[in-house]
Structure 1
Amino acid sequence: MDLIFYLTDLAGVAVFAVAGTLLAFRKKMDGFGVIILASATAIGGGTTRDLILDLPVFWTHDPTYIYVIIAAALLTIIWLRFKSYIPINTLLIADAVGLAFFATMGAQKTLAAGFTPFIAVIMGTVSACFGGMLRDVLARDIPMVLKSELYATTCIIGATIYTVLVPYFPVTALAASMLVTLVVRLGAIRYQWSLPVFKEHEHH
């Protein structure tokens, strides 16, 4: 089971590194900008989680994460050399897949460190959202988490599913959490699902 968690974590890092590289391409950044954006997206959330929980920052003890980021960025760059334009949906889908991985793995790592399910849900959301938020701020975009479609809410839903199911069905919990997070986020992108807070008033 530990191997499954580890490989899932690496897959999430790779996907978010791809998302960061895609945004760097859209912003016409140089090679250094690509690596910075890919790294910020891929490990920013997990780093924030570990610092808050006072845990060793995961990638400082396992350089495999850095190798995966570099490999994913380079492969994406090679693919992009044959593309003159990248639709925004490509970035949104890559980001959604990354959310699904990290909302789940953030919750898993928090539970494994001995914290409560409630904290695990919060840290799953932090793990999933903060890397993308850092990426968007560095690229001078409005962070996706601040836009109207469901974003952090999808992570809360997915992380909650994981914490509820994992004591009874560990593998099912992993799959269900990632699948629900991905489906809800893709649905929010496609159908503009949101949680309205303020009523719209007509201006006279």
Structure 2
Amino acid sequence: MTLLQGLDYAAVFIFGLTGALAASRAQLDIVGFVFLACLTAVGGGTLRDVILNRDAVFWVADPGVILSACVAAILVFFTAHLVESRLRTLEWLDALALAVAVPAGVGVALGMGQDWPVVLIMGVVTGTFGGLMRDVVCNEVPLVLKKGELYATAALSGALAAVVVTLLVDSALVALLTCGVTTFALRAGSMLFGWCLPVYKSRPPKA
């Protein structure tokens, strides 16, 4: 298994857990758990591969990825009742998944020789769109759009850190590790310490 395959599997499994936790909060049946877990798990990576016109979408090339998401769904279906706060657990698992998926997207784009703007966008797309689909289907405010929280910003910063490292060090592993650590640190800091960007505040028009 290559590094990129390992990142895809890890991101799929963890995002699958978050999708299943969202299904538990919505009190869905086991088919709903599997559907939502799979949608969340492969949504971002699928969009990435379609945009980049890869030879095959990653889960089509390796159907074991879907099995990983299904395992996550079934695991949560039988254990979600043991979790004290499913929303908080979902948010932390989502932060971890983001820190794995962004490097996966960055790594695929770099491996295809894409220019740095494309690398940044693919990192953000891979990291955020699965969770966005999950939240929209569950009729929740998407985490990526929650006011004042670092989410897309964390993903973009992680991808940017990877691009900078590739200019300094000839090591994909170091670049992707830096990407993951940066993404998780910013997202965790936002959740724990309230780190955020300034939000727009409307002002009355001048007379």
TM-score between both structures, scaled by the size of structure 2: 0.90
| Residues in 1 aligned to 2:29 and 2:74: alpha-carbon distance in whole angstroms | 13
Query: Match for 1:143: what amino acid?
Result: P
Give 1:196's match in structure 2, choosing from 195, 198, 202: 198
Does structure 1 retain, via aligned residues, the 8 Å contact 2:25–2:86? no
Deviations 1:17-41 (A, max 9, x none): 0011111111111112111111111
Aligned residues: 200
Q: What is the correspondence of 1:134-153 to structure 2 with a 5 Å cutoff?
A: 134-148=133-147, 149-153=149-153
Shift of 1:51: 1.4
Shift of 1:81: 4.5
| Residues in 2 aligned to 1:4 and 1:54: alpha-carbon distance in whole angstroms | 20
Does structure 2 retain, via aligned residues, the 8 Å contact 1:26–1:86? no
Once structures 1 and 2 are overlaid, which stretch shifts more, 116-125 or 166-175?
Answer: 166-175
Match of 1:157 in 2: 157
| Residues in 2 aligned to 1:45 and 1:4: alpha-carbon distance in whole angstroms | 18
| Residues in 2 aligned to 1:182 and 1:201: alpha-carbon distance in whole angstroms | 34
| Residues in 1 aligned to 2:145 and 2:25: alpha-carbon distance in whole angstroms | 20
Query: Match for 1:186: what amino acid?
Result: A
Match of 1:20 in 2: 19
Secondary structure in structure 2 of the residue aligned to 1:22: helix
Query: Match for 2:152: what amino acid?
Result: A
Match of 2:79 in 1: 79
Shift of 1:7: 1.4
Match of 2:188 in 1: 186
Q: What is the correspondence of 1:54-73 to structure 2 with a 5 Å cutoff?
A: 54-55=53-54, 56-73=56-73
| Residues in 2 aligned to 1:173 and 1:76: alpha-carbon distance in whole angstroms | 33
Deviations 1:144-203 (A, max 9, x none): 11112011000001111112223523222222211111111011112222222424659x
| Residues in 2 aligned to 1:69 and 1:197: alpha-carbon distance in whole angstroms | 35
| Residues in 2 aligned to 1:114 and 1:3: alpha-carbon distance in whole angstroms | 18
| Residues in 2 aligned to 1:67 and 1:173: alpha-carbon distance in whole angstroms | 29
| Residues in 1 aligned to 2:121 and 2:82: alpha-carbon distance in whole angstroms | 40
Shift of 1:72: 1.5
Match of 1:102 in 2: 101
Shift of 1:118: 1.4
Query: Match for 2:140: what amino acid?
Result: D
Structure 1, gaps ≥5 residues long: none
Secondary structure in structure 1 of the residue aligned to 2:195: coil
| Residues in 2 aligned to 1:136 and 1:104: alpha-carbon distance in whole angstroms | 22
Instruction: Give the % identical residues.
Output: 36
Deviations 1:95-153 (A, max 9, x none): 00111111111011011122112101111101111100000000011111111201100
Moved over 6 A (4+): none
Cα RMSD over matched residues? 1.7
Does structure 1 retain, via aligned residues, the 8 Å contact 2:18–2:94? yes
| Residues in 2 aligned to 1:30 and 1:115: alpha-carbon distance in whole angstroms | 42
TM-score between both structures, scaled by the size of structure 1: 0.91
Match of 2:43 in 1: 44
